[in-house]
Structure 1
Amino acid sequence: MFPGGKINPKKMKQMMKQLGMEMETIEDVRRIVIETGSGNYVFDGAEVVATIMQGVTTYQITGEARFEPAAIEIPEDDVRLVMEQTGASADAARGALKATGGDIAEAILRLTAA
């Protein structure tokens, strides 16, 4: 990318400053969580560099992420419907709904087949 392959860090910093670009390492990062609809990406002890260019800050995260799936939220109306259709307890209906990813028909079939 650059002639000679080696860049003097001081020279690089000076060139970045001339371009209106600043980089800052954020120290003592303990945890970063990126929340999505299907779950969270969690980084423990990641390295984070903030780059500011033309008034816009961009963050670069370096590290290993683990994915934690989102907990399925089961509406009480669904629990009641499964209970009415199967005669199962609220706990059994809720458990069947969680096991089927919230699919009411599958939960009913699961409880009536048992």
Structure 2
Amino acid sequence: MFGGKPDPKKVEQIMKKLNMKVQQIPAEEVIIKMKEKKIIISNPEIMLADMMGREVYQISGDVSESVLVNEDDVRMVMDKTGQDRDTVVKKLEELDNDLAKAIMELKGK
């Protein structure tokens, strides 16, 4: 909007001047799940504003993305490697769902 990271206090003051009800929401992490990936916002600053009867959330923070793993893929890699579910899920996320590479790495090849 103005370049750089907006100051939440200034945003809150501006919104109050426009007669918008505003509150900050304390949170440790925000996760937005989409069909094939999720967006993770760490150390979020969350503002909730009431705009004409609608709740509007403004979220800023440290953003990262993670590919969601398919349960069939997880089971298949578990069967091929003998590894537990948590280990397989972490490896698939690390490798962006590259099944062949995950199997090779988990088998130690």
For normalisation by structure 1, the TM-score amounts to: 0.50
Q: 2:33 aligns with which of 32, 35, 50?
A: 35
Shift of 1:13: 6.0
What is residue 25 of structure 2 aligned with on the other side?
26
Q: Does 1:60 align with 2:58?
A: yes
- What is the alpha-carbon distance in structure 1 between the residues aligned to residue 39 and residue 45 of structure 2? 15
What is residue 100 of structure 2 aligned with on the other side?
99
- What is the alpha-carbon distance in structure 2 between the residues aligned to residue 14 and residue 66 of structure 1? 31
Greater C-alpha Rg: 1
Q: Check whether the contact 1:74–1:98 (CA below 8 A) recurs between aligned residues.
A: no
For structure 1, which runs of at least 5 residues remain unmatched after alignment? 1-8, 80-89, 101-114
User: How many pairs align?
Assistant: 71
CA gap 1:59/1:98 in 2 versus in 1, 3 angstroms: same
- What is the alpha-carbon distance in structure 2 between the residues aligned to residue 51 and residue 91 of structure 1? 50
| CA displacement, residues 33-86 of structure 1 (integer Å, 9 cap, x when unaligned) | 0001111111111100011011100000011211111113327xxx6xxxxxxx
What is residue 84 of structure 1 aligned with on the other side?
none
CA gap 1:72/1:22 in 2 versus in 1, 3 angstroms: same
- What is the alpha-carbon distance in structure 1 between the residues aligned to residue 36 and residue 24 of structure 2? 30
CA gap 1:64/1:12 in 2 versus in 1, 3 angstroms: closer
Shift of 1:98: 2.8
What is residue 87 of structure 1 aligned with on the other side?
none
Q: Does 1:15 align with 2:17?
A: yes
Q: Check whether the contact 1:72–1:98 (CA below 8 A) recurs between aligned residues.
A: no
**How well do the aligned residues superpose, as a CA RMSD in angstroms?**
3.0
Identity of aligned residues (%): 17
For normalisation by structure 2, the TM-score amounts to: 0.52
